[in-house]
Structures are given as structure tokens and as C-alpha cells.
Chain A
Amino acid sequence: MTAGRHPIGLSIRGAVKVYPGTRALKGVDFDIRMGAVNVLVGENGAGKSTLMKVIAGVEQLTEGEITIDGAPVRFARKDDAVAYGIGIVFQELNLFPDLSVAENIFIGREPLRMGIDIDKGAVQNRTRALLQRLEQDIDPDTRLGNLRIGQQQIVEIAKALAEDARILILDEPTSALSAAEVEVLFRIIDELKAQGVGIVYISHRLEELIRVGDYITVLRDGEITGARAMDGVDIPWIVRSMIGDKSKDYSTDITHDYGAEVFRAEDVRLPRPGGGFFVDGVSLSVRAGEVLGIYGLMGAGRSEFLECVMAQHAQSTGRYFVEGREMRDRAVDRRIARGIALVPEDRKSDGLVQIMSIRENLTLSSLPAFTRIFHLSLAQEAGKALDYIKRLTIKVASPENPVSSLSGGNQQKVVIGKALMTGPKVLMMDEPSRGIDIGAKAEIYRVMRQLAAEGIAVIFVTSDLEEVLGLSDRILVMADGRVTGEFAAGCEPAEVVAAATPGKKKLKDTAA
């Protein structure tokens, strides 16, 4: 192999990371080879981000050790890792929109004149040099918020480069970049490789990985399922390693016949500020008892579509029909009354009112059911809440405790319970299994299948390939705000992945 050409710069042995309730890493061995692109791939929740956070010093290992150039090291804080030349570009941008580009790049380590004030000239010059190296024509004084997201991502990369990183971790760096910007990034990566920098590259875009990677490591549920040099690796191999042979428990044994169409969306569009569309003419329909999975990568417009259905975007257009009758009202409570329910992606900020009790969260959407004129029957409410706690087997000490005291899986069940209590005909779930452990996932899957069997139409959005393949009766794939493919259950995984790749033209004609 090429091990001699690319010496190992950093290696992790037996990495175990335990979070309350879950084991995110279960004895992972991982090497970063210098002067090469080390690709890391896996489903959401496989442990990639945790592993990178450990390497960047943001999180500490529960067990296991990290060695750099053969010597064991311990990162207590991010600064420790930075001192060893480890730079990381997180998937979520950590930038300040109201500061200038130069200020952003040097935030927290501004060069000082005689230890007192910021050396503005030096900041400007170094920023200009960095941006030139990145082939970007950006004025260092531009307010960051005025840049496109793709340019902001480049600034984030410049920030890591400014620290003279020896090891550079790029977590989904291309998710917001245009095709031209991706080319620039790849040129920079080549240049950094030539300088001997070890790069860790995380992405869901498999073609991209094969193109740019030298070594590949596949993670699944906190374990390594494949690690080799990139020679001879193809997409089916990656997909096989990612989702494994034996399937998780998707409760597909709960089967039933579909009913009539209960929900139809026609030509839903959501304009993007500054041109283009987040959601670009999406039409779909779902039948009673059907589980429709919507697969796609980040930024494909899946969540935005669900939000449009839930009347969250005043500027969106399109028509919706519930059981054949058009739904025109733009008030959320009226749409809920028509039988639409949403389980949002972000439990913390969208799904729950954290400081309210479990009971109050469960019943928040269904209060009219317990109200006569204006009097709320607390007894009825508590009864119904207990009912749903039992029905969804939510583990609680008392329904009066704040919902924030529950584990992620139980919190998610509370969100689902809230949606179900409204008696929905269509249940929309955005990443229903995100951030919860495997046991809770299986329970959520079981609940979803059961609801479908009871005649509810379930639409769920996921970026987890295995989940969409295992759970759906029918799969829609979205990319760039459009529906790019439609598949029946039991289709070829590689085709689903191909359809989800952004930057292609509409594939619907060929797929259907």
C-alpha cells in the first residue's frame, strides 16, 4: 500500500465516547495520514462528528488514546488541539455576520500592537493573502453577512488555514458550495496535500469522496465497518459498508393495505432571497396508511417543503388538498384542525417548550379538545396526557416534570404525542430519529409503522439512507429543491444515492 508515502500523523486507538444514554463511539481505531485526504463517511449519528470533535479537543474520550507522531497526547480543550496544529471547519458555520471578513478570520487571536490594540494593517494583509490563496475576490472589510453562504464557508476554511493547521478537518465543506466553488476547494485541498497537510474530509456526497479521497474509513453506529485505501472503492462498496447486511428493526412486518389519497401538494414553491428557490415546484401525494420517505442531502429543500405545508413561509406558493378538499387557510391551528401535523426536525427550538411540563407540551396543540367556551378542564387534560404517555411508552417519573429533563428519545416521543393528540390524517416527520439512541429509534420506527397501519398517512424526511430504505413504502428523492426521483420499496440503494446528488437536472422523467 501507500503507507510509506503518507506517514501517519495522528492516530486514535480504542476510542470510546459515552454520552448519557448512548455510546457514540465503540472502540474506534482511526489514522490520519499526512499529505493525503482521509475520507470519513457514515450515516447521521454514526459517530463521525463525535470522532472529529474528539480530535479537535472539543470533546474528551471516555476511553482510548490519541497519539501524534507516536507520542500520546491529551486534549482538554480546543486550544490544546490547535497548539498541535489541528484545525477544524465545522458543518455549521461559526461566524459573526456583523463583523468583517478579516475580523472573523482573526477572531479570538487578533495580532496586537504592543499588546494593546489590534494591528489592523496586519489583519488586512494576512486576510488578503489568505483569500488570494483561496482564489476568492473578497474585500477583507466586507461585512460577513453580505456574503453568500458558499463564500462564508470559504471564509471558515480561511480561518482554519490562518492557524497554520497541520491537520485540517473539513466537515461537509461542500454542502453549501456551488460547483465552481467546489472546484476551487478541491484545488486548495490538492495544494495543501502537496504541502504535507493531513486532511480529514467528511461528506455525504459519495462521488465527491471517491474523487478527492486517498483513504476511506466507514463508520456505522460508532464502529468502523471499512477502512482501506481509495483504490478500487466504488459507491456500492461504500453503501454496503454504511448500511451493513443485517437490517435494523424497522417493524416492516406491520403491513396493511393503503386507502384513498388523503393529501396532495401541487407545485409548491418557496423563493430563495436573492434568486432561485428553496423548494422548486414540488408536487406529491400520499395515501392513507402509506409511509412516504423523502430522502435528500442537507439543503435539498425537504424541511422547507414540510414547513410550507405547515404555513410557516408566507411567501410560499402552491396548492394543498386534504381528502380532496383544498386547504387554503394560512393559520397553523386551522391546518392542524384539517388533519395536518408536523414533528419538526429540531426538538429543542421547534418541537418543545423546554421549560413547560411534559403534560403541557403533550397537550399544547389540542387544548380546544379540553375546553368548554373558555374553561380548560385540567382533569381531562391530565387524563389524556397520561393516556398518550402510556400509549407511546414514554418513560417519565411524573408528567409534571419539565420536558427538558427527559432523554432525547423520550422528548421525541413527547413531540410525536403532541402531533398525534390532534388526530392527524397526515403526519409529517422531519428527521424523526435524529439524535436519539438505537433502542429509541426502533421504538419510533414501530410507532410510525403502527400509525400507518391505523390509516394515517406518514410523510417523513431523512438523510439516513438505511432508514429511508428500510422504513418507507415509497421513496421520493429531493435535490436542489426539486423531486429528482421516485422509487418503490426494495429499490437499489445506489440509485437513490445517485438521485440525491445535487447539481443535476430533473431526473423524474427517467426514474418514473
Chain B
Amino acid sequence: MFTDDAGKAGMTAEGPGNSAKSNRRTGGDLVQLITPGGERVSHPEFDSWVQDIGDEQLAALYEDMVAIRRIDSEATALQRQGELALWPPLLGQEASQIGSARALRQDDFVFPSYRDNGVAYVRGVKPADIVKAWRGNALAGWDPYSVNVATQQIIIGAQSLHATGYAMGIQNDGADSVAVAYFGDGATSEGDVNEAMVFAASFQAPVVFFCQNNHWAISEPVLLQSHIQIADRASGFGIPSMRVDGNDVLAVMAATRIAIDRARHGGGPTFIEAVTYRMGPHTTADDPTRYRDANELEDWAAKDPISRLKALLDRKGLLTADLEAAVAANADAVARELRSGTINMPEPQPLDIFKHVYSTPNSSLDRQQDHYTRYLASFGDPAAAASEEGAR
């Protein structure tokens, strides 16, 4: 019973969802532009938002999705080989991440969670930087201002407030960029996500709440988080929402463009629920066979986001041997870059532990650093002393 979409039982009658009455629609039925079989179906409201996505763009989206799936499998392999301490796979969520991230402008600012590695990749984060924190070489892998992506948030939902505050700043600056918060179904139970929606609505901040409902918060099914559809939570805050097929890259892109456009033009926040599925474990340390049915995975495998887009390309006669070869070559190159960047990553130095705690000198910490420096020096060879410390 927990495998159904959230809130089927508790859903209130809303009338036909797809024929939205206005663009301030809420939740409703799942919006889909590509069927699991790869058929392009039309939608009166959403079609116009992806009208410009021609053959070339579809192929590019396909290439992105294959690349991030490859990053994901390569990172999982690196973890199994002891090169990463942990990895949170995004397997199954490629359409949600690519469709949304490719709808953004470079000056929009993203506040991701730890699983949004596909978002980071298409925003320009280098593959090895994506795994830097998971290797334990840093707490975060990149300078947020270099790619307009905040470092990945591990505290569930906390970044939704950061996105909202950032959006309030955009508003004060009179700029037309947008902040986007990425989080999951579990996060919608957190106070911070709810407070973020209160603030966003009160100040009509240019923020998009992009929720990937991947059905599982580690072992907890989405029904434990919500007894109504997650998208419908937004209406309680006075925030318009959409519920889209998160394994359909075009539907996700259209919804994100609608939300971004609204925010850019002073229309305030929007909540998007991208209904998708976490096909892998929560992290490489997790064992989903303890809590979910293998049949469920099979059902979702049939709705796979990449197979679906591939089928569409095939129907359109675009899936040529050349395209397949180019897409595979790109994925191979990204994987090679990830692997060599990981293995050759410079090791941090012992005294780096003291860096950047404060932006200006701090007398107490300076003393601790001085004492630890002397301690290391007492071994004669600080580097050897540090590795000995680590071995204990």
C-alpha cells in the first residue's frame, strides 16, 4: 500500500487536473509530455513551454542524462573500490535533474541537496569536484559563486530557506534572476521547508521549490510524510504548484520554465513536485531490500527516464548510430575525467583543519593551531606524524 503515489487515498476531489483553469494551478493530475513508451503526447498548457526543443536539443538532453547516469555508476564503482567513502546515487532521477537544471539561466542560483549531482554537473561543476566531499577531501567541492550553485546541503530541507533568503536579496537588488531550492519528499515534513514557503509567500520572493518526490526517504515511504499529494501542500501557503512526471524530461523542463518565468516577472514562488523514483539505495551504505519490494523497482524500471527519451528519439528517427556513439563517447570521457580526477586528487594538509573557521584571525584558535604545529614538529617530520595520527 505504501508504493502508491502519495495521498491517493486522502486526495480531495479537484476536478480534472490537466485542463488547468489558470496558470496559478495547484497540484492536480500528473503532467506528462512523453509516455513511458516514448510517445510525445500533447498538453494544452505545457506544450508551448517546450516548443523550442527541437531534435538537436532533445539529443543534448539525452546526452546529459546518459552522462550523469554514467557519473553515478562510476562514483558507485569508486566507492566500492574504496576511493570514495560514500555516494548517494541519483539513479532514476535523471529527467528531474536535467529537465529542471537546463531550464535555468546562468545567473539563477541553485540551492541543492546532496543527491542533486546531476544538477551540479550541468551547471558546470567538474566531475571530480562533485565527489570531493564524498572522498573526504573537503566538506564541499566547489566555490558556489563560480557556478551559481550553493554547496550541497546535508541537513534535510535547510537549503529551502537559503534559497528563499537569496531570492529576497534578488528582489531587493531589483534583479530578475531566480533562486531554486532542490529537496525531496522527506524534506517537506521539515519545519524549514514549511517556513521557507511561509516566507516566500509573504514576500512573494522569486524562488522555485523543486521537490523530487522519489518515494523514499531512506526507508520511509512517502505516505509517511504526507497524506495528500505533496504538490497540494503548497496551496496551504498560497503558493501555486504543479505535479509533473519526474521521469519525463520535457514535462519537467516545461514546469520549471513556467515557474521560473513567473518568478522572473514578479509572480512570486512556485512549488513543483516531480514524481520520480530512487532506483538505487539511499547511499552506498544502504540496503533497500530490507524495506521495499522488488516488484516496485520493476514497475519503475519500466518508466525509466532515459529509456523513455531514447524511445522518443527512436520514434523520431533521431537515434542514429552516430548519435549513440557520440553520447557514449561523451559519457566515457566524463567517467574518465571523474576517475582520474578522483584518484589524483591532492590530499589535504594537516594544518588545513584550522583554515577558514573564521574570516579574520581568532586568538583562541590560533593558539590551538600553534600548539598542534609544535606537536607535529615534535615528531621531526610533520607529514609522518599526521599519517600516524590518522592510523590510530
State whether these chains interact: no
